[in-house]
């Protein structure tokens, strides 16, 4: 990604590896409504623990690159093709990101790091992926901790009934008549930090079912701390709870605010869900170097 010219900010301490002229080669992949900074870190050029405080600066729009998160591709510890570390825009490290996983898979395939069918390590567990041109399909970990009808009293507002499921990261799903009219930043934040989901919190999804294979979705993302134009694990969570309620069948195509669809595939047996796949486009929009001024 090309550097954006910004003024250096006084009072910021340089990390020990940010010597004069330091830069990292990066790629900017995008999936429906999300964009990420992706760095091939298999040589250990970027110390992951030291980059954490810099992620909010790099992901800040207008003053730096701007992104929903940052992904490090690292050498695998086992039989997988590679390992990733995913950082939200606020610098917190997340167990999983569905759209980020698809972008990482396409990047790895294009750069000869992994074959078209691959496995990579995440905190949530091993993830399988298949790349076919610009489309990527990833198999996520099995949904767990499914709970329907969780009552969420909102202080000074309306009580909500939400469904909860963990699809690698925790998600609350609220069915509404019109996602487009929802105050996603306000209500989403109240649900994200609701005591019911403490201490980890939960992403908040507002969805509508439009048929046995179609839904609409808007998401407030934990770690981004705002609405994003799409959310892969949120789309999976929404499809799973809708299926648990008998409202949809696999596959389910979800229309996000970005205007680009994601498709969720799943199998269901005796009330449990498995073989959960997330499919959609993953685009590499630019590549280049991140200059030191991007994080200063």
Q: Are 32 and 230 in contact (CB under 8 A)?
A: yes
Beta-bridge partners for 86: 71, 94
CB-side neighbour CA atoms (13 Å) of 169 = 29
Q: Is the peptide bond before 133 cis (omega within 30 degrees of 0)?
A: no
Given the residues 5, 59, 231, 286, select the one marked as catalytic. 231
How far apart are alpha carbons 104 and 84 in whole angstroms? Answer: 8
Question: 246 exposed, middle or buried (CB, 10 Å; 0-12, 13-18, 19+)?
Answer: exposed
In the DSSP assignment, the letter for residue 191 is H
How far apart are alpha carbons 153 and 188 in whole angstroms? 13
Of 5, 59, 97, 103, which one is the catalytic site residue? Answer: 97
CA distance 38 to 288: 11
DSSP 62-96: TTS---SEEEEEE--SSSSSEEEEEEETTS-EES-
User: In whole angstroms, how far apart are CA 136 and each of 24, 115, 242?
Assistant: 26, 12, 23
Q: Note the helical H segments in 88-231.
A: 98-110, 184-192
Q: Check: CB of residue 102 under 8 Å from CB of residue 260.
A: no
Is 231 a residue of the active site? yes
Residue 103 bears catalytic tag:
no
Which residues form the catalytic set?
Answer: 97, 231
């Amino acid at each position: 990604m090309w550097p954006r010219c910004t003024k250096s900010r006084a009072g910021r301490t340089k990390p020990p590896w940010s010597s004069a002229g330091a830069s990292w080669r990066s790629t900017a992949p995008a999936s429906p409504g999300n964009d990420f900074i992706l760095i091939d870190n298999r040589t250990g050029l970027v110390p992951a623990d030291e980059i954490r405080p810099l992620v909010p600066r790099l992901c800040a729009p207008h003053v730096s690159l701007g992104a929903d998160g940052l992904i490090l591709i690292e050498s695998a510890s086992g039989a997988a093709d590679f390992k990733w570390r995913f950082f939200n825009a606020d610098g917190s490290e997340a167990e999983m990101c569905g759209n980020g996983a698809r972008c990482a898979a396409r990047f790895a395939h294009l750069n000869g790091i992994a074959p078209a069918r691959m496995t990579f390590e995440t905190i949530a567990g091993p993830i399988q992926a298949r790349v076919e041109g610009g489309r990527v399909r990833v198999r996520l970990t099995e949904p767990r901790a499914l709970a329907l009808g969780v009552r969420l009293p909102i202080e000074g507002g309306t009580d909500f009934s939400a469904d909860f499921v963990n699809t690698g990261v925790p998600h609350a799903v609220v069915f509404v008549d019109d996602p487009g009219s929802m105050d996603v930043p306000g209500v989403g934040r109240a649900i994200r930090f609701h005591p019911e989901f403490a201490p980890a919190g939960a992403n908040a999804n507002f969805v509508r079912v439009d048929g046995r294979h179609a839904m609409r979705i808007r998401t407030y993302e934990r770690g981004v701390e705002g609405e994003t134009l799409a959310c892969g694990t949120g789309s999976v969570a929404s499809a799973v709870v809708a299926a648990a309620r008998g409202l949809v069948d696999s596959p389910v195509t979800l229309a996000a605010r970005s205007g680009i669809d994601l498709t969720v595939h799943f199998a269901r047996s005796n009330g449990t869900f498995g073989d959960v796949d997330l499919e959609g486009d993953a685009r590499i929009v630019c590549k280049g170097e991140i200059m030191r001024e991007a994080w200063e």
